[in-house]
Amino acid sequence: MTCWARHAFAYTGHLTGGRALRARAIPRVLSEGRALGAAVAKWHEQAPTLLAALDAAEVLRESLDADETEMRIHGLEPDVSERAAVEEHCTELLIHYMLHAEPFGNLTRLEDEITVGLPSRTGVRHSSRYRFVCRIDGWTWNEQGPWLVEFKLRGRLQSAELISTSRQMRWYAWALREYTGVSPVGVMVEELWNVVPAPARIVNAKRKGEGINGRTVSHATDQRTTPELYLEACRLYEVEPSEETLAHLREIRWRQRTPIIFREGELDEAGAELVSAAKLIRDLDSGELHPIRHVSNATCTSCRFRDICPSPEDELYIETLFEFVPPKRERLPEELAA
């Protein structure tokens, strides 16, 4: 629904001679998101305990290991230094999160994907042909009832207005209701900023006798550090902290938890939306509709097909980045599971 051309490259093959494409490499941002999402969800199962932290770190490594295995299966040898950098970055993000986040306390995790048949035309039963597949991070309970929980790693934290209009969360909630009988009252979206807090900035002292050995703490307000790290640096360098700098650092949001309550009938509406999406996919898959490129900064910047989109007929170039695979309609069940 974001871009018909992206769908064609990944599933139908209508722009690449009837063959779909599977990326040989897993984008770093995707690998980081998978690993950190799984680790954070694991931590919330038992937090705050030492065992929860150890288990979360192990889940993070297992996710990165699985991505390496997947790339080898597709004929690409992972970069050892890149893997080390990703693991270090994700571990630092995880530690910072566990030190400052408020545990849900009773998060129930789902280890496997949820597969639910879409509503039939009559709405009486589920379709045996069209299915919705999703991976739900978990759900939790409070005095209002059950809540779907989703963890997101972001390059920039989103506004509550943008989060509240997201359809994906409502489709996930509908699938959870149909699969488990648990009807969420809403969704809690836990966003993590994909930036590790840096140490407080240390600069050359401008005045004689200030700081230690001619070095002192910067009071610049553009630092990506925490109030705790800034205050610790001021203590070590025997410098009086700046209240203006502290105020700025306290305003930096490293994470945010946004609750969205569903209105009455909204999950039924989400099921109806999925039926419309299935009809669109059917027409794209059959060739009734030719895929249109929906070009925009929001769509194209993060698209893994961006480099080959202008010239989908260049097979030699495409094969350096992707594998040609059968379109989804021709794949065996075990191929779809992979």
- For residues 127 and 118, is the Cβ–Cβ distance under 8 A? yes
Q: How many Cβ atoms are within 10 Å of 236's Cβ, its own excluded?
A: 13
Exposed/middle/buried for residue 328 (C-beta within 10 Å: 0-12, 13-18, 19+):
middle
**Residue 23 has what pLDDT?**
87
pLDDT by residue for the chain (338 residues), tens digit each? 889 999 999 999 999 999 999 988 888 888 999 999 999 999 998 888 899 999 999 999 999 999 999 888 877 888 899 999 999 999 999 999 999 999 987 888 776 688 999 987 666 678 877 889 998 898 899 899 999 999 999 999 999 999 998 899 999 999 999 998 989 999 999 999 999 999 999 999 888 778 888 899 999 999 999 999 999 999 999 999 999 999 999 999 999 999 999 999 999 999 999 999 999 999 999 999 999 999 998 788 888 899 999 999 999 999 988 999 999 988 765 555 55
Identify the pLDDT of residue 121: 66
Cα-Cα-Cα-Cα dihedral sign, residues 23, 25, 29, 34? positive
Distance in angstroms (rounded) separating the CA atoms of residues 200 and 194: 18
Q: Environment class of residue 195 by beta-carbon count within 10 Å: exposed (0-12), middle (13-18) or buried (19+)?
A: middle
CA 269, 270, 276, 282 torsion: positive or negative?
A: negative
What's the confidence (pLDDT) of residue 27?
85
Domain boundaries, the chain: 4-25+278-337, 28-100, 108-191, 202-253
- Where do the DSSP E strands lie in 110-248? 114-119, 126-134, 138-142, 145-154, 186-193, 202-204, 215-217
pLDDT at 206 (0 to 100) = 84
DSSP lists the bridge partners of residue 268 as none
pLDDT given for residue 269 in this prediction: 94
Q: What is the DSSP string of 195-223?
A: -PPPPPPEEE-SSTTSSBTTEEE---TT-
Distance from first CA to last CA of the chain, Å, rounded? 23
pLDDT of 187: 95
Residue listed under structure tokens 């002192």: 216
Asked if 52 contacts 59 with a C-beta cutoff of 8 angstroms, the reply is no
